[in-house]
Amino acid sequence: MDKGSTRRSFLKKATIGSAALTSAPYVFASSYEQKLTLKRNYLHADYAVNDQINLGLIGSGIQGIYDTTAALRVSGVKLVAVCDLYTGRLDRAKELWGSDISVTRDYRELLNRKDIDAVIVATPDHWHKKITIEAMKAGKAVYCEKPMVQNFIEGHEIIKVQKETGAVCQVGSQGMSSLGNEKAKQLYEDGAIGEIVMLDMYNDRYSSEGAWQYPIPPDANSKTVDYDTFLGRAPKTPFDTTRFFRWRNYKDYGTGVAGDLFVHAFSSLNYILSSNGPSRALSTGGLRYWQDGRDVPDVTLTFYDYPQTNTHAAFNASFRVNFIAGSGGGGGFKIIGTEGAMEVDSNSVKLTRAKLGMVPGGYSMISYTEETQKKIKEAYAQQNLETRASALNIGETIYKAPGDYKGSHYDHFYNFFQSIRTKKTVIQNPEFGLRAAGAALLANESYYQQKPVNWNPKTMKLS
């Protein structure tokens, strides 16, 4: 990408272009503040019964329910079967989606059904690879929740099978297909923030639920919960409802805060920049508050190095998660460049462009005599460092989705089902999914080894 030409393109649009037709604002003065509306067009059709996509859900927990709810908002999709290892969730599935759906504890029953076209894999992380691969081999389209894998090697196995089978496989980082990401990518490629310098991501939580202390149902016992199947390849442990219902708290089944939260940010960042990901990570943190038996940290800070590529300069990324943020909850995702910054979420982008001060002020001049200050000012004036052009196109623009926007989760499933119908490529295929998951998993690798780790973003392997 020629950053010089893209920057000039952005400035030209910002100065003489129409805000309704370009990614940049229409500037009437040297500083601006405005709000613009984002939009997206969808292809809608009425599908006959035999044209519907029959969907199966594998893992009807929290995320599985949210995924399925979003999926069923897309026209031409019907849920026909649900699998879960806790009978209470199967009962809940019938409450939510009707008593006519089939329910089972064995996911293989869904894969063996000829009438099921696609499955959502919303199981604990350590089951993602096995079920996703078996589903693709069974001829199903797969929506696999993030992180796509629990370890690096598994990702390459999924990529290999997807290429061999040609199956549609979407990785479920639901913010990926959002209007916010789409606009941020356009703005970045237009040169709106100049060269990227850093990414600042944080997620603060201040509740037991936010720290994964999910409620355990009173009827949970060895009869209602298939604990042995849940364990899968993980080490064998005695029956434990806490491990089953709060699996994110354990390395045996989950991927910690990095796998749960970093992946979303890496998916968006890599998409916006057309990047393969970072080359180095250094992580620290600890278990500061939630001493409930978990073996993953509740406070994590990780720093990443991104190498220079043809789509972005070398830059640094800072990722921070705090599950005991006494200041309250909140989060942010901010891409900072040499000429501006973008705060990005699923529904909006806030673009800020400021003036770079190049002439010294009173702070640094105070130690010189009045005569010397005069000479310094004259010398800087001759260099003409702060031209009229540098004072133009500064200010703030907020691009926001309309009130009737169906949301990024809908958009991600819309992309998935459209790919099934039209045989087009999904927005987040397994290769993209491994780039996002791999970058996140570097945080765990560094944290537990207590040292920096290197990653080859092209081959997606530790180096």
Burial 281-310 (b: 16+ CB within 10 A, else e): bbbebeeeebeeebebbbbbbbbbbbbebe
Distance CA 180, CA 272 (A): 10
Average pLDDT of adjacent 10-residue blocks, the chain of 463 residues: 57 45 42 82 78 97 98 97 98 98 98 98 98 98 98 96 98 93 97 96 98 98 98 98 98 97 97 98 98 97 98 98 96 96 97 89 92 93 77 85 94 96 93 97 98 97 95
* Angstrom distance (rounded) from CA 427 to CA 197: 26
Tokens matching residue 336? 């900072």
Domains of the chain: 3-37+178-406+439-462 (3.30.360.10), 49-176 (3.40.50.720)
Which pLDDT value is given to residue 3? 56
- Tell me the β-bridge partners of 455: 462
Structure-token pair, residue 313? 């300069």
CA separation for the pair 50, 246 (Å, rounded): 40
Query: By the 8 A CB rule, do 208 and 429 touch?
Result: no
How far is 24 from 21, CA to CA, in rounded Å? Answer: 9
pLDDT, residue 10, reads 64
Provide the sign of the torsion angle of the four alpha carbons 225, 227, 228, 232, taken in this order.
positive
pLDDT at 42 (0 to 100): 85
Q: Kindly report the length of the chain.
A: 463
What's the pLDDT score for residue 25? Answer: 44
Q: Residue type for 422, please? A: T
Residue 72 CA neighbour count, 13 Å, CB half: 14
Torsion of CA 307, 309, 314, 320, to 10 degrees: -70
- Per-state percent for the chain, helix, strand, coil, to nearest 5: 40, 20, 40
Q: What is the pLDDT of residue 17?
A: 35
Distance CA 13, CA 15 (A): 5
